[in-house]
């Protein structure tokens, strides 16, 4: 930090950190400062984790991942799950050492500096914004399946697929409609309560359990004969694709402030959530591969699980139930991720990293309306035009990179500020964060080259935007400037 009166150098400017003010992220003029009451127990926290994770990907990730790894995709699920779990534990320490509640962006800003926070923000835009688009695309497949089975009406393919899909259409209209609906709900200030979340968890797990049971009736062990046709490289590539379906596990970490006895509760809930999720995913993959040769997954991107049930049973009943469950639960996932995206941009707008418009609250609805509309339009365009496979991989690379930054951040913070009070410390330091970095890096290294190109270009655009705009408009920078008399 610059001494008073001195002109801060460029490095000091880029790595300036947002000081943590007491009471920040807390309360407005009212005196409802009691939100620090620790009320969340292990069970509820586990439900957050399961609720946030299941449903983001498992309903449609198999058609992308199985062709990459073959039956060994089961190993990929475990690998991706372990990497996500290690990262989430590091995330929890990061969250607990910064007494602001918020997303990774806020933690990075408070601990690692402005430019790192911007890099993390670029990753988070992929994790939330692009995943909202991906989830909406997946939703449209299941909606079509449900409509076809229930009414017999076939929606024209032109309005169901993106123009650059393998089977090209014109626009993915249901995905656009879904994003639009969620936008309206968010503008009106609707929110999903803990109770609705619990109901959604039950629905998702119930339809997945149904899938496993029904699909296992057609199980043939010889489907696993050629277990890893692509070798370990294929397993890692598939893990990268699958990583998408573990997004949301970090929701456990962000609740840190309100968790009872976090040192015990946090790892327990994380591990419990992770075990539940991995068990379900592995069983779903195991049952699905048992029903059909792994080569047949390719191209089954629309309502993949429902199609498998249809093939297995010969009646549309089970497929319809599964499709309806997916339609309901994916709707809630879209709402939550779109919400997350708007609130991250809101935080950035308040910090001056983005135009103030993003932090403007409508006096009428008291929600950030302009922000929500801009985000929804961009997400809707992505969902309308980009095929699912591309979206999924880009989401994974963004999330993995954010996790690597967080894991490295934990190590940096331990060295730089060893005495900082931490509500939660990573067990097995320094092995755990290092393992987390290695696991994420291993998966990252195996992603497709074009994913990397998209990702690097995106981060570069974002950082250039920061250097040209955010650096000068930073609220923190202006405050510092006033202090130093510039």
Partner 1 sequence: MTVVVGYIPHRGGRGALDLGLQLAHARAEPMVVVTVVPRQWTTPSLARIDAEYAEYARQVGEEAEKQARDYLTDTSVSVATSYRATPGRSVSSALVAAVEELGASTLVIGSSADGPEGRIVFGATADKLLHSSPVPLAIGPRGYRSVAAAGFTRLTCAFSDNPASARVVARAGELAEQLGAPLRVASFGVRNATMYPPEVGLTAEDSVLDSWAAQATAAQRQLVDDGIVAADVPCVIGTGAGWVESVGSVEWQRDELLAVGSSGVGPLARVFLGSRAGKLIRASPVPVLVLPA
Residues in touch with partner 1 (CB under 8 A): 25-32, 35, 48-49, 51-52, 95, 100-103, 106, 128, 189, 191-194, 196-197, 248, 250-251, 254-255, 257-258, 335-337, 339-340, 343-344, 346-347, 350, 359-361, 363-364, 366-368
**Cβ nearer to partner 1, comparing 255 with 405:** 255
The string of DSSP codes covering 215-226 is HHTT--GGGGSS
Nearest to 463 by CA among 121, 128, 127: 121
Nearer to partner 1, 187 or 306 (CB): 187
Report in angstroms how near the CB of residue 439 gets to partner 1 at its nearest: 22
Q: What angle do CA 101, 94, 350 make, to 5 degrees?
A: 40
Q: Please report how close the Cβ of residue 301 comes to partner 1 at its closest, in angstroms.
A: 25
User: Shortest distance, CB of residue 370 to partner 1, whole angstroms?
Assistant: 12
Q: Which residue has the tokens 């970490």?
A: 253
State which residue, 45 or 228, has the beta carbon closest to partner 1.
45
Residue 205 C-beta: closest distance to partner 1, Å: 15
**Closer to partner 1 by Cβ: residue 71 or 256:** 256
Measured between alpha carbons, how far is 115 from 477 in angstroms, rounded to an integer? 12
The residue among 416, 420, 365, 468 whose CA lies nearest residue 113 is 416
Contact between residue 42 and residue 269 where contact means Cβ atoms under 8 Å apart = yes
Q: In angstroms, rounded to a whole number, what is the distance separating the alpha carbons of residues 115 and 16? A: 8
Which CB sits closer to partner 1, 448 or 473?
A: 473
* Least spacing, CB of residue 53 vs partner 1, in Å: 9
- 126-130-131-134 Cα dihedral, nearest 10 degrees: -150
CA 339-451-335 angle, 5° bins: 15
CB nearer to partner 1: pick between 258 and 296 = 258
Beta carbon nearer to partner 1, 48 or 139: 48
Structural Rg of the chain based on CA atoms: 22
C-alpha torsion sign, points 419, 424, 426, 428? positive
Q: Least separation, in Å, of the C-beta of 189 and partner 1?
A: 5
CB of 45 vs partner 1, minimal distance in Å:
10
- Give least dist CB 38 to partner 1, A: 11
**In sequence order, which residues have a C-beta less than 8 Å from that of residue 182 and are 6 or more positions away?**
331, 334, 335, 338, 376
CB closer to partner 1 out of 165 and 250 = 250
Smallest separation, CB 193 to partner 1 (Å): 6
Q: Is 373 helix (H, G, I), strand (E, B) or coil?
A: helix
Instruction: Give CA–CA dist 109/86, Å, rounded.
Output: 22
Report the DSSP beta bridge partners of residue 259: 40
> Which positions ≥6 away from 67 have C-beta within 8 Å?
294, 295, 297, 298
Q: Quick one: residue 417, left, alpha or beta (phi over 0 = left, psi -120 to 50 = alpha)?
A: beta
Q: How far is the CB of 365 from partner 1 (least distance, A)?
A: 8
Cβ proximity to partner 1: between 71 and 398 the closer is 398
What contacts 406, CB < 8 A, 6 or more positions away? 87, 90, 91, 94, 104, 107, 108
Q: Which residue, among 256, 251, 250, 255, has the nearest Cα to 424 in the 3D structure? A: 256
Nearer to partner 1, 255 or 287 (CB): 255
Of 335 and 405, nearer to partner 1 (C-beta) is 335
Shortest reach from residue 483's CB to partner 1, in Å: 21
């Amino acid at each position: 930090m610059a001494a008073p009166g001195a002109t801060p150098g460029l490095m000091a400017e880029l790595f300036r950190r947002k000081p943590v003010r007491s009471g920040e992220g807390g309360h407005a003029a009212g005196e409802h400062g009691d939100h620090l009451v620790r009320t969340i127990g292990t069970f509820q926290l586990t439900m957050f984790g399961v609720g946030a994770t299941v449903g983001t990907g498992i309903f449609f990730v198999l058609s992308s991942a199985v062709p990459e790894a073959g039956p060994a995709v089961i190993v990929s699920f475990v690998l991706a799950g372990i990497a996500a779990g290690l990262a989430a534990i590091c995330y929890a320490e990061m969250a607990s050492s910064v007494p602001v509640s918020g997303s990774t962006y806020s933690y990075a800003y408070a601990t690692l500096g402005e430019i790192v926070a911007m890099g993390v923000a670029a990753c988070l835009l992929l994790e939330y914004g692009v995943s909202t688009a991906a989830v909406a695309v997946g939703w449209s497949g299941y909606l079509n399946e449900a409509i076809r089975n229930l009414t017999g009406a076939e929606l024209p393919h032109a309005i169901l697929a993106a123009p650059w899909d393998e089977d090209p259409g014109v626009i993915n209209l249901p995905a656009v409609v879904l994003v639009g609906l969620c936008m309206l709900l968010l503008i009106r200030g609707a929110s999903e309560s803990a109770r609705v979340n619990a109901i959604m968890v039950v629905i998702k797990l119930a339809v997945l359990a149904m899938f496993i049971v029904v699909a296992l009736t057609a199980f043939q062990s010889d489907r696993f004969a050629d277990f890893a046709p692509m070798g370990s490289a294929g397993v890692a590539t598939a893990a990268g694709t699958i990583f998408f379906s573990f997004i949301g596990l970090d929701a456990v970490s962000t609740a840190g402030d309100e968790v009872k006895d976090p040192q015990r509760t946090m790892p327990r809930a994380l591990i419990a959530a992770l075990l539940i999720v991995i068990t379900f995913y592995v069983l779903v993959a195991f049952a699905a591969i048992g029903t059909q040769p792994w080569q047949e997954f390719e191209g089954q991107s629309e309502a993949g699980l429902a199609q498998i049930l249809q093939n297995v049973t010969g009646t549309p009943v089970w497929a319809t139930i599964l499709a309806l469950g997916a339609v309901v639960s994916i709707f809630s996932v879209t709402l939550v991720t779109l919400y997350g995206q708007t609130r991250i941009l809101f935080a950035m707008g308040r910090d001056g990293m983005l135009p103030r418009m993003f932090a403007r609250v409508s006096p009428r609805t008291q929600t950030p309306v302009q922000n929500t509309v801009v985000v929804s339009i961009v997400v809707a365009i992505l969902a309308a035009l980009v095929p699912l496979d591309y979206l999924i991989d880009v989401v994974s690379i963004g999330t993995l990179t954010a996790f690597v930054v967080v894991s490295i951040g934990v190590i940096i913070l331990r060295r730089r500020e060893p005495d900082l009070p931490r509500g939660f410390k990573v067990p097995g330091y320094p092995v755990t964060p290092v393992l987390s970095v290695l696991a994420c890096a291993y998966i990252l290294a195996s992603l497709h080259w074009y994913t990397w190109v998209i990702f690097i270009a995106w981060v570069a655009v974002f950082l250039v935007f920061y250097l040209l705009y955010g650096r000068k408009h930073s609220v923190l920078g202006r405050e510092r400037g006033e202090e130093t008399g510039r």
